[in-house]
Chains A and B, each alone.
Chain A
Amino acid sequence: MFANIARVLAQSSKKSLPLVRSKHSLPDLPYDFNALEPVISAEIMQVHHQKHHATYVNNLNVAEEKLFEAKQRGSVSDQIALTSALKFNGGGHINHSIFWTILCKDGTSEPEGELAEAIKRDFGSYQRMVDLLVATSTGIQGSGWGWLGYNKQLNRLDIVACANQDPLQATTGLHPLFGIDVWEHAYYLQYKNARPDYVKSIFKIANWRKVEELFGKARHD
């Protein structure tokens, strides 16, 4: 029996195996669903991660598979038709993957080091940066994200709003540092229509150590 197996294995290794295209997968949360209470409820974290983010991952995989097939068929038109699906779902995957990491139980102390200096230089103070990010995020019409980002060309921090799941870097060139999801699914079960309360509270669970790390990478890589 073992001789047969050995022969089969030897034969198959001579054939060229199909290239296995890697699929995206849902990253684990770095904490339990209830870790961000009372700012973000366990129920929201569970649905947000296991339903919304998971759906973006699944749909991204489907879109990329279709893109691959369209390219194989040589259809430029079909590839172009997939752009929306890639932006929606790819953006959703990128954004949420960052989001989970820039939040943590009870938050951290305020920004330090290089990031603190940059915030002071570009906004005047941490509080003014927060006020601007709160206003920008709260004011988004419909669904989107408010971002603190880094403009590498100008060596400057900036705060912008992105619609829907438009990913910050692909859309604006800014490196994402700290983002606030203001799609209603991010807060509705707990805050209902009170988006400002949610946005202001999120700074209590901000993981500035992670944001400092992202800033360092963006500056020096």
Chain B
Amino acid sequence: MSFQLPPLPYDYQVLEPFVDKETMNLHHTKHHQTYVNNLNGATKDSDIVAICQNIKNYPVAVRNNGGGHYNHSLFWKWMAPVGSSNVAPTGTLKEKIEATFGSVDEMKKKFTDAALTRFGSGWAWLGVQKDGSLAISSTANQDNPLMAGVADVEMIPILGLDVWEHAYYLKYQNRRAEYIQQWWNVVNWDEVVKYYDNFASKNNPVPINQ
């Protein structure tokens, strides 16, 4: 049973003007598809979460493409058209964020900073560590915080932002700061809260449909 490209939960243009239609199309049908194809060529194993957690046992092609497949599968879910989700975290996650960072705005500042200071390609993350505390980090290339022994901060990611140039270049060119600022408009906080409540708070990684 090989990995599949998950369908987008929405049409390519619905995140406009924050994330443009052409980028969503290319990002999904070319970049993510390529990770899926290459991953299928690189391993016969099928549990992507287990692969990420044991990434040191796999060749680099699996690290790059397995990470790419996991990260992007969640990325599409972490975004939603304006108006379809709460514009801020709610419930326990909101309390946890406030307790950890002082406020949601402070958390966003730290996350933005992580996204800005990741030199080259990579991702910024908000996640839950083993002791249940929230943390923010960034990783290079297609690494993610599930990758034990690879990620600086090991945690269960509940929100991630792709800062590879392909994620923003067509619309923003070198203006990564502007991309990050605009991206906050399309964060699907209801989904993030679900991921925290149902998975990360119970020390379980968020699953993806394989």
A141 contacts which of B26, B34, B60 (Cβ < 8 Å)?
A: B60
- Decide: A142 near B140, CB < 8 A? Known: A52-B174, A193-B31: yes
Q: Which of A157-184 contact B (CB under 8 A)?
A: 163-165, 183-184
List 30 A-B residue pairs with CB atoms under 8 Å apart, sorted by A's residue number.
A51-B174, A55-B174, A141-B141, A141-B142, A142-B120, A142-B121, A142-B122, A142-B141, A142-B142, A142-B164, A143-B120, A143-B121, A143-B165, A163-B120, A164-B120, A165-B119, A183-B120, A184-B164, A184-B165, A185-B165, A185-B174, A188-B165, A188-B166, A188-B169, A189-B170, A189-B173, A193-B26, A193-B30, A193-B31, A193-B166
Bits for B155-180, please: 1 = Cβ < 8 Å to A, else 0.
00000000011100110011000000
B26 pairs with A84, CB closer than 8 A: no
- B119 near A84 with CB under 8 A, answer yes
Residue of A nearest to B175 (CB): A51
Asked whether any CB of chain A lies closer than 8 Å to the CB of B4, the reply is: no
* Distance in angstroms between the alpha carbons of A185 and B166 in the assembled complex: 8
User: Which of A51, A141, A144, A184 makes the CB contact (< 8 A) with B166?
Assistant: A184
Interface residues of A (CB under 8 A from B): 47, 51-52, 55, 84, 88, 141-144, 163-165, 183-185, 188-189, 192-193
Decide yes or no whether B185 CB sits under 8 A from chain A: no
Minimal Cβ-Cβ distance residue in B for A188 = B169
Taking each of A144, A163, A164, A193, which has the highest tally of chain B beta carbons within 10 Å of its own beta carbon? A193
B64 within 8 A of A: yes
B119-131: CB near A (< 8 Å → 1, else 0) gives 1111000000000
**Residues of B with C-beta under 8 A to A183:** 120, 165
- Give bound CA distance, A55 to B174, whole Å: 10
A21 CB → nearest B CB, Å: 25
| Interface size band for B | 20 to 34
Q: Report if A47-B119 is in contact (Cβ < 8 Å); known contacts: A183-B165, A188-B165.
A: no
How far apart sit A184 and B30, CA to CA, in the bound complex (Å)? 14
A55 to B176, CA, bound (A): 12
State the CA gap A84–B118 with chains docked (Å). Answer: 11
CA distance A184 to B31 in the complex (A): 12
B34 surroundings in chain A (CB, below 8 A) = 193
Q: Which residues of B contact A188 (CB under 8 A)?
A: 165-166, 169-170
4 new A-B contacts, CB < 8 A, other than A142-B120, A192-B30, are A142-B141, A143-B165, A188-B169, A189-B169
User: Chain A residues near B174 (CB, 8 Å)?
Assistant: 47, 51-52, 55, 185
Complex formed: what's the CA distance from A165 to B166 in Å? 18
Tell me the chain B residues, 70-90 only, with Cβ under 8 Å from chain A: none
Taking CB as reference atom, which chain A residue is nearest B25? A192
Query: Is the pair A141, B64 in contact by a Cβ cutoff of 8 Å?
Result: yes
- In the bound assembly, the distance between CA atoms of A55 and B165 in angstroms comes to 16
